[in-house]
Structure formats: structure tokens, C-alpha cells
């Protein structure tokens, strides 16, 4: 297998891991662990592993004083708000809803970039934004009696907030990627965001009944903490290095497909024509909003 094929396999594997994560998170929360407890394990594990990685492959470890405010902002948007609202929202809604709504992140990036850094909006982008937002609203407003979501509307809103926060993070982190490596940036973003988040989530972590855990629960927690956070990120970084950001980013379109298949087979969720229509609108919106940029 050549390097290019390995990179495509790594990126595809990362997106399959992300897709499976939707159903696996719902398997363990809130029945065995509360959402904030999962956040605690996920972020704490990632911080430890990213710093161990620095010990195994030594390199620069510090950050410039002038960049500290931006790192703090990225830690708040990319870890604190992003992680808390994603896991909490997913625990309330369905895997299919959350995977489709998370796909709206590129749409929010266009809006935020136009606001913060004055990127231009043409008619194609505006059409894409309108389609994507309408698709998200359709998904949020439809009545879904699926038993895997205890409060689908609230969960959908929290996932949307997570997507908006992550979009802010992706816009604000761009300048840092110029002066630091991707792994160095995410190491500090997780560390700073974790310092703020871990005290907030510690009480639910300490209240977890570990005696109720059997092999399946431990395996799910290991997958969430190591596979869907640390390993999947490394796979994506490897893909970006070999294929470029555009080719790697295109694989995000596969996530809802894999997430829906896994949720239907293993979690008992169902797919309706309305969800299909919402998916088409969101996919089309994301494609049109990013068409010129990807093909420039």
C-alpha cells in the first residue's frame, strides 16, 4: 500500500470512527455515565496522551505570550463549549440528527469568516447557506418519536450550538497553524480548555457508579476516550499532511452516512423521508457554500 492510499485509508478510518462515536456515546450515556463525566474522561485522556506524544517525539513545547489570548479563546470554543454541548446534546437527541446537524459546521464557518475576517459572500455561497440552514431547521422542527432521544428538540439545539462553537474555533485557530504545528496547537488547546472544563465536569465523574460497568461499557468508554478523540485526530492530521486540507475535509460528507447505517443497525433508529430531505438540503448547502473555495 503506497503512502497516498494509506492516507486515504487513515482519513476514511477517522470518519468511520467519528460516525460510530455517535451511537457508542448514546450507548453509555446517560444510562451508565452522565455527559459531563464522559467529557471529563475524554478531555483528560487526550491531554495526557498529547503530552506523552511530545515526550516520545520531542519538539517545541511553549507558546508565545502574544498568542495566549487566542489559545484561550480556542480552548473555550474548541474544547469547553464544543465538548460539553456535543455530548450533552447527543445524549438527548438521536445519532442521525446529531451527525447531520454537525455537518453544518462548514456553513457556520462561512458566516463567521464573513463576520470576523470579512471574507466575501457571493450568490453561490448565499444559496448554499440558505439551503443548509433550511435543512437544519427542517430536521430540528420535525416531530421525531424515536426512543433513542429523550428530548430531541433540546438535544438538536445543543448540537447546533456545538457546531457554531466549533466553527468559531476553526476560524480563530487558523493564524496559530501558521506558527505552530497542528499537534502542538491541539495539545495546548486541549490543555487550556481542559483546565477550564475539568472542574466543571468533575462532580459527575466522581458520581459515576463504576461497579455497574461490564466489559461492553469499558470498551465503549475506551473507544470514546482514545479512538474517537486521540487516534481519529492523529489519522486526520496524517491525512492533511499527505493529501491536503481540502481532500481530507471532503471525507466529512461520509460521516452522516456511516452514522445513519450504524445507528439503524445497532441502535434501532429509523430513517424517514423527511430526514432524507433534510440531509439532501444540508449536503447541498455545504457543497455550494464551499464550491468556489474548494475549486479555486
Over the chain (296 residues), the average pLDDT of each successive run of 10 is: 83 91 91 94 93 88 93 94 92 88 82 77 82 83 66 90 89 86 89 94 95 95 91 82 71 84 83 83 81 50
How many residues belong to the chain? 296
pTM, 2 dp: 0.83
Tell me what pLDDT residue 134 has: 86
pLDDT at residue number 260 = 87
Hunting for cell 492523529 — which residue is that?
234
Q: What pLDDT does residue 237 have?
A: 77
Is residue 41 within 8 A of residue 227, CB to CB? The reply is no
What pLDDT is stored for residue 295 in this prediction?
Answer: 45
| CA separation, residue 120 to residues 124, 144, 165, 284 (Å) | 11, 37, 21, 20
Report pLDDT for 212: 93
Amino acid at each position: 500500500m503506497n503512502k497516498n492510499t494509506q492516507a486515504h485509508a487513515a482519513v476514511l478510518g477517522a470518519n468511520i470512527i467519528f460516525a460510530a462515536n455517535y451511537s457508542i456515546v448514546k450507548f453509555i450515556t446517560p444510562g451508565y455515565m452522565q455527559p459531563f463525566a464522559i467529557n471529563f474522561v475524554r478531555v483528560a485522556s487526550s491531554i495526557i496522551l498529547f503530552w506523552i506524544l511530545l515526550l516520545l517525539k520531542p519538539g517545541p513545547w511553549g507558546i508565545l505570550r502574544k498568542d495566549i489570548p487566542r489559545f484561550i479563546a480556542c480552548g473555550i470554543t474548541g474544547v469547553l463549549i464544543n465538548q460539553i454541548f456535543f455530548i450533552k446534546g447527543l445524549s438527548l437527541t438521536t445519532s442521525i440528527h446529531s451527525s447531520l446537524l454537525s455537518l453544518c459546521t462548514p456553513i457556520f464557518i462561512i458566516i463567521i469568516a464573513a463576520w470576523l475576517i470579512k471574507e466575501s459572500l457571493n450568490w453561490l455561497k448565499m444559496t448554499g447557506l440558505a439551503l443548509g440552514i433550511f435543512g437544519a431547521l427542517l430536521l430540528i422542527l420535525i416531530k421525531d418519536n424515536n426512543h433513542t432521544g429523550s428530548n430531541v428538540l433540546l438535544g438538536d439545539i445543543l448540537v447546533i450550538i456545538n457546531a457554531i462553537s466549533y466553527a468559531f474555533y476553526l476560524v480563530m485557530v487558523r493564524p496559530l497553524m501558521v506558527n505552530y504545528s497542528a499537534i502542538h496547537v491541539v495539545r495546548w488547546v486541549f490543555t487550556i480548555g481542559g483546565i477550564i472544563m475539568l472542574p466543571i465536569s468533575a462532580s459527575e465523574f466522581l458520581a459515576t457508579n463504576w461497579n455497574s460497568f461490564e466489559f461492553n461499557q469499558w470498551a465503549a468508554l475506551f473507544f470514546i476516550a482514545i479512538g474517537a478523540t486521540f487516534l481519529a485526530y492523529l489519522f486526520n492530521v496524517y491525512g492533511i499532511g499527505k493529501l491536503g486540507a481540502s481532500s481530507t475535509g471532503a471525507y466529512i460528507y461520509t460521516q452522516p452516512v456511516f452514522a445513519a447505517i450504524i445507528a439503524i443497525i445497532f441502535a434501532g433508529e429509523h430513517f424517514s423521508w423527511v430526514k432524507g430531505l433534510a440531509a439532501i438540503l444540508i449536503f447541498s448547502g455545504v457543497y455550494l457554500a464551499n464550491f468556489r473555495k474548494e475549486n479555486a
